[in-house]
Structure 1
């Protein structure tokens, strides 16, 4: 079998079944589906195209290969830390925009988490309506470990998990298992691998029993009335904070240390 060169493989795959259920697959399995500018652009374009479809009923987000989504691609972070301000801001705005679009998507969204779910992967989970995890899934809000801030996903984490749990895990960068993700509200259910596809279908069937317009109105009212949408000013502030920290001395040192598999300079005795 002939494999396409990596640059020709779409970083996000879209498929829609006859019911109007779309599957969005993050497709960089060789990098744990870590995001870079290409994946973010494809995700933004894909969500926009799906939102415009009158026949769409729901979206299921999955990760190709062994992991759901391992956060930002560390090599991309290293490149982005040297971007000039305008390009650096645009890179952070892409992350902010992708999360905002998913959070405010007009139809029901599900995430199916397996393997690693770190950083921005947790952000995606915080932005969907239903989050399922396999028993072996592993989570972490790990940005501070590489000297960057999770600004593009910060509001969504607080909305999903509450400030108390977000504070702990975003400040410590600790990894935690599916049981803890369930306890703190990051996921709704833990499902055994053998039962996963059947459970997804059960939830989708429940969604399909609801009137599409009523569901859209319900989502819109929940988010709007509770101040859970982001306007242009809020998005710009989050993106600005993100690129400033990424391009700082800490951001450069953190990504360099991670790539070299060493402790960062701020760690005592490093």
Structure 2
């Protein structure tokens, strides 16, 4: 479900279920976390995240039903994935060529650098599935304007690559034809002084503003309780 390749000090993680729009099932989330951990274990200086197909990802598979897996456990995987990506000691670069909704927009935000093509679009569409994305509500204002963050989660509105850059969801917008070329140039740049880069990354991770473990756990508990009560109006 994920293709992992190590080339020198560059690890590449490719979402590889294009037939489902790279929907994140529980298994794909587990594979994603394992690949992030493998990149750290391999001491990769750069981590590239890309996807096969015309869709980066439609986000989590909201139709998946796992009766033997508590909702809190599934939600906890999102926190693990976000923490592993944000905590990667090297530079993570997401290459987004197509829609990246829900968890895909989260990948864009938690990566060190995100390149998007004109075909990309972003948004947190959980509300369209009658879900309250409280984990997103907790972390999104760390990255973008709190008022815009609230609008996005309340409406599920999709934004273009250009608007996503203006909001701070992505770093740069490039053409599909030059995406890999731009990525190669970035890799060369950030690999020049790996010690300095790791020092910067370590310091950035310690900056205030990102939700605490306690606040993230409250998001899981509140959402799970609401769902377990039948999602009352």
TM-score, L = length of structure 2: 0.92
Tell me how far apart the structure 1 counterparts of residues 166 and 80 of structure 2 sit (CA, whole Å): 28
Instruction: Quote the residue 1:200 is aligned against.
Output: 183
Contact in 1 for aligned 2:142/2:209 (Cα 8 Å): no
The match for 1:237 among 209, 215, 218 is: 218
Aligned partner of residue 214 in structure 1, secondary structure: helix
Instruction: Quote the residue 1:14 is aligned against.
Output: 4
Shift of 1:245: 4.0
The match for 1:105 among 61, 65, 88 is: 88
Aligned partner of residue 187 in structure 1, secondary structure: coil
Tell me how far apart the structure 2 counterparts of residues 168 and 128 of structure 1 sit (CA, whole Å): 22
Could you tell me which runs of 5 or more consecutive residues in structure 2 were left unpaired when the two chains were aligned.
Answer: none
The match for 1:61 among 38, 41, 49 is: 49
Instruction: Quote the residue 2:59 is aligned against.
Output: 71
Shift of 1:244: 3.1
Write out aligned runs for 1:1-270 (5 A): 11-18=1-8, 20-54=9-43, 56-76=44-64, 79-80=65-66, 83=67, 87-211=70-194, 213-228=195-210, 230-231=212-213, 233-250=214-231
Instruction: Quote the residue 1:5 is aligned against.
Output: none
Contact in 2 for aligned 1:127/1:156 (Cα 8 Å): no
Shift of 1:135: 0.6
Residue range with higher mean Cα deviation, 184-193 or 215-224: 215-224
Evaluate the alpha carbon distance shift between residue 188 and residue 248 of structure 1 in structure 2; reply closer, same or farther with a 3 A threshold. Answer: farther
The higher radius of gyration belongs to 1
Contact in 2 for aligned 1:71/1:118 (Cα 8 Å): yes
Contact in 2 for aligned 1:118/1:140 (Cα 8 Å): yes
Shift of 1:248: 4.7
Contact in 2 for aligned 1:24/1:59 (Cα 8 Å): yes
Shift of 1:92: 0.7
Aligned partner of residue 50 in structure 2, secondary structure: strand
Evaluate the alpha carbon distance shift between residue 35 and residue 134 of structure 1 in structure 2; reply closer, same or farther with a 3 A threshold. Answer: same
Contact in 2 for aligned 1:149/1:245 (Cα 8 Å): no
Tell me how far apart the structure 2 counterparts of residues 53 and 238 of structure 1 sit (CA, whole Å): 32
Tell me how far apart the structure 2 counterparts of residues 14 and 205 of structure 1 sit (CA, whole Å): 20
Shift of 1:246: 4.2
Tell me how far apart the structure 1 counterparts of residues 135 and 70 of structure 2 sit (CA, whole Å): 16
Evaluate the alpha carbon distance shift between residue 70 and residue 172 of structure 1 in structure 2; reply closer, same or farther with a 3 A threshold. Answer: same
Tell me how far apart the structure 1 counterparts of residues 12 and 227 of structure 2 sit (CA, whole Å): 32
Tell me how far apart the structure 2 counterparts of residues 180 and 147 of structure 1 sit (CA, whole Å): 25
Contact in 2 for aligned 1:15/1:23 (Cα 8 Å): yes
Shift of 1:122: 0.5
Contact in 2 for aligned 1:148/1:245 (Cα 8 Å): no
Residue range with higher mean Cα deviation, 132-141 or 240-249: 240-249
TM-score, L = length of structure 1: 0.80
